Amino acid sequence: MTTLENCLFCKIVAGTIPAQLVFQDEDITAFYDVNPQAPVHVLIIANTHTASHLETDDPTIYAQVLAGAKKVAQQLTLTDYRLVINNGAGAGQSVFHLHVHLMAGRPFAWPAG
């Protein structure tokens, strides 16, 4: 597992910063967003550090986070949810450890704003 000492989400994986976990296994960690944008807002990350979608070349990471998002939906018995990946500060990325947002519990506009 690759971790970065100064990465907030690596610290959540390691347990040195607390988070409300949905689940964790050897590959991924899912935890509630501290500033939720929907009644249910969970972040799914690979335990291995990769900065962003664009900077990640390992398809295993993509598979892990998307499969992890499905596991969250199933665990929370959600059938209607939105998955979001922000890539780059201009698109709203603020934590540079690749993560999928899973949001549910309210209507979502489409096209998205």
Taking CB within 5 to 8 Å according to partner kind, which of Zn ion, ligand 5GP, none is near residue 64? none
Of the residues 41, 49, 99, 101, only one is catalytic, namely 99
Taking CB within 5 to 8 Å according to partner kind, which of Zn ion, ligand 5GP, none is near residue 77? none
Residue 47 in tokens: 């335990």
Length of the chain: 113
Taking CB within 5 to 8 Å according to partner kind, which of Zn ion, ligand 5GP, none is near residue 66? none
Taking 3-state DSSP, the helix, strand and coil percentages for the chain, each rounded to the nearest 5, stand at: 25, 20, 55
Q: Where do contacts with Zn ion occur on this chain (CB under 5 A)? A: 4, 7, 9-10, 49, 97
Q: Where do contacts with ligand 5GP occur on this chain (CB under 6 A)? A: 8, 19, 31-35, 43, 86, 92-95
Nearer to Zn ion (CB atom), residue 40 or residue 97? 97
Contact partners, residue 57, CB within 8 Å, separation at least 6: none
Q: Residue 94: phi, psi to the nearest 5?
A: -120, -20
53 counts as catalytic? no
Q: How far is CA 61 from CA 10, 31, 48, 58, in A?
A: 15, 17, 8, 6
Smallest distance, ligand 5GP to C-beta of residue 91, A? 8
Q: Which residues does the annotation mark as catalytic?
A: 99
